[in-house]
Amino acid sequence: MNDASRLMERVRARDAAAFETLYDEYHRLVYGLALRVLADPGAAEDVTQAVFLKIWDNPALFRGGNFGGWIARVTRNRALDVVRSRAVRVQEDVPESLPVDESLEETVIANLDGARVRDALERLPREQREAIELGFFGGATQEDIARETGIPLGTVKTRIRMGLRKLRNVLEGVVTV
C-alpha cells in the first residue's frame, strides 16, 4: 500500500490531518489540470474544491490503485462536465474502474512531476502531442480531432497510440530524453 492509500484509510476514519496532507500533496495536480481544461482560474478553484470535498464526503469512491492517476481522472471528468454542462457528453470518463496492473502504473508514475512530464511531452512529435492534448484536455473524441484537423481518422488513432507509447517509454526510462 502506498502513502496515498494509507492516507485514504485515515480519511475514511474522518482524520482531517490525513486529508490535509493529501490536499497538500495533490492540490497542484488537481488545480493545474482543472485550469488547463477550463482556462478559468475561478472555475478551476471551484472544481478543485468540489473534487477534494467529494473525497472527504465519500472516500469509498477511491477503490485502490494509484491515487494520483485516480484523482487526475476524477478532476478531468469533473472539469469537462463544466465545459459540457449544456452539451452532449462524450465519453463519460477516462476509464478509472478497470483494475490494472498497479506495478506497471507505479513504475511510470513514481516520482512523476509536472516539469518532467512537460519536458517529455514537448519532445513528442508535434502532431502526436496535439492529438493527445486535444483528446485529454479538450475532451475531443478521435472523430472530433479528425474533423477539426482534416486528418484521416486512422491517422489520428495512430498519432494517439504512438504518442502515448512514446511518452510511456520516455518516462519509464526506456528512451532517454
Partner 1 sequence: MSAHEELLDNVAAYALGALPPSDAAGVERHLRTCAECRREYESLRPAVTAVAYSAEACETAESGAAVASPLLKSRIMRKVRAEAAPRRLAPPAWPAYLAAAACLALATVTGLQNLSLNDRLNRERAQTTQQVKELADLAAPDSKRMPFHHGEVVMHGPRLYIAMHDMPMPPRGKVYQAWTLAKGAKRVAPSMTFMPKASGTTLVALPEAATTLAAVAISVEPEGGSLQPTSKPIALVAL
Residues 92-151 that bind partner 1 (CB under 8 A): 92-98, 100-101, 104-105, 107-109, 112-115, 117-118, 120-121, 132-133, 135-137, 139-143, 145
Number of helices followed by number of strands (H, E) in the chain: 9, 0
Q: Of the candidates 74, 55, 49, 65, which has an alpha carbon nearest to the alpha carbon of residue 10?
A: 55
The single residue among 3, 5, 64, 90 that binds partner 1, judged by CB under 8 A, is 90
**Tally of CA atoms within 13 A in the half-sphere of 159 that contains its CB:** 23
Minimum CB distance to partner 1 smaller for 95 or for 150: 95
Minimum CB distance to partner 1 smaller for 6 or for 104: 104
Please tell me the distance from the alpha carbon of residue 158 to that of residue 136, in angstroms, as a whole number: 16
The single residue among 1, 60, 126, 176 that binds partner 1, judged by CB under 8 A, is 60
87 lies in the site for partner 1, by CB under 8 A = no
Minimum CB distance to partner 1 smaller for 35 or for 151: 35
Minimum CB distance to partner 1 smaller for 85 or for 176: 85
Neighbours of 165 (CB within 10 A): 12
Least distance in angstroms from the C-beta of 55 to partner 1:
10
From residue 40, alpha-carbon distances to 33, 36, 83 in Å are 11, 8, 11
Give me the 150-169 binding string for partner 1, x by CB under 8 A, dash otherwise.
Answer: -------x--xx--xx-xx-
C-alpha cell at 113: 512531476
